[in-house]
Amino acid sequence: MGKSRGPVWVIAEQIDCRILEVSFQLIGHGRKLAAALDTTVEAILLGHKMEEHPRQLFAAGGDRVYLGNDPELAVYQPEIYTEIIEKLAKERQPEIILVGSTAMGRELAPLIAARLDTGLTAHCIDLVIDGNKVLESRIPAYGGLLSIICPDRRPQMATIATGVFPNPEPDESRTGEIIPIEVPKKIPRRIQTLEVVREEPEGMDLESATIVVAGGAGAGDPAGWRKIAGLAEVLNAALGATRPAVDEGWAALETMIGQSGKMVSPELYIGVGLSGELQHMVGISGAKIMVAINNDAKSPVFEQVDYGIVDDYREFVPVFIEKIKEYQGKLKTC
């Protein structure tokens, strides 16, 4: 008989005692990975006043929850979190560790990987178990998908953004084992989070919007970007961006859609002045209807959307906005 494999771990993230959606999504997908490896799904949950929360992780598909429940853990503390997870991983020997590609996860995952002397694949858009029972992490690269494996080191680690995997249907009848974690009290800390100040986001939330308008490098300049923003405004849509638009300073980092940004699933997506690079398009794969506006008829974006408009957006968008306003005016008078 072969050696039994360690569990699939998910680092569950909480803010203000609320477990983030990405944690449930990772547990749901973790079940598929665990089934292929004939092993279990376990979650690490660190926070304060979290006694009732493991049941949510069980309902999502978790078999066991390691619970660190202490005032010291109420707010994310990188050194304490790393110390706890490193110690536990060395004891329990997980096969795979999945971490959300959040502000916390993007810092915590490499810290853990370095301590455990293992590899880490970031910004994955798919995870599968290959024929050799090794985790295959897929990321967009070079105009296609690149598969990365870590055959010789354990655990295998990956970060995944919110929305890459669907939310699992909760099964409230599921139960599991809760294992309390002893929280170390004497860890020397160079960095300590004293207070979290939450910034109110501007505009509509991308991840929950039913309509998303996104602009790319084709906007050309700030004046062009304002035209695209005007289209989003008249449609009551969230305004998103590609990395070039963010790099130019036309859009804020939190509006970036794609591999290293946000994943969106609107009813309607309109892309303006963007070429259809995979790094952006993976972020809109959940959109129901996709429309592109680009003046280059040979642009790759037209091969990936439902409707394409070949025109200079600087001429098309103002006319489009006026037509929308006319239509909205007729609706008000009916």
Q: What's the CATH number where 105 sits? A: 3.40.50.620
d(C-alpha 326, C-alpha 334), whole Å: 13
Whether 132 is in a domain gets the answer yes
Query: pLDDT tens, 276-296?
Result: 888 888 888 888 999 999 999
DSSP E strand boundaries for the chain: 8-12, 14-15, 18-19, 41-47, 64-69, 96-100, 120-124, 126-129, 135-141, 144-149, 156-160, 177-180, 211-215, 238-241, 268-272, 289-294, 307-310
Query: pLDDT tens, 155-210?
Result: 999 999 888 888 899 999 999 999 999 887 776 677 777 777 776 666 678 888 99
d(C-alpha 66, C-alpha 58), whole Å: 12
Same domain, 16 and 92: yes
Same domain, 65 and 174: yes
Same domain, 136 and 283: no
Same domain, 28 and 159: yes
Same domain, 214 and 167: no
**Tally of domains within the chain:** 2
Domain coverage including residue 18: 8-180
Look at residues 180, 215, 247 and tell me which one is the last residue of a structural domain: 180
- For the four alpha carbons of 89, 22, 280 and 146, in that order, the dihedral sign comes to positive
Lowest mean pLDDT among 165-174, 223-232, 253-262, 305-314: 253-262
Same domain, 171 and 270: no
Same domain, 96 and 136: yes
Residue 47 CB contacts under 8 Å (≥ 6 apart), including other chains = 14, 17, 53, 68, 69, 73, 74
Whether 215 is in a domain gets the answer yes
Same domain, 153 and 215: no
Contact 284/275 with Cβ under 8 angstroms?
Answer: no
The length of the chain in residues reads: 334
Neighbouring CB atoms inside 10 A of 331's CB total: 7
d(C-alpha 227, C-alpha 232), whole Å: 9
The token pair that represents 103 in the structure block: 């502000």
Same domain, 59 and 111: yes
Quote the pTM value.
0.81
pLDDT at 10: 97
Confidence class of residue 140 from pLDDT cuts 50, 70 and 90?
A: confident
Q: Which of 5, 177, 185 is nearest to 92 (CA)?
A: 5
Lowest mean pLDDT among 77-86, 138-147, 288-297: 138-147
Whether 3 is in a domain gets the answer no
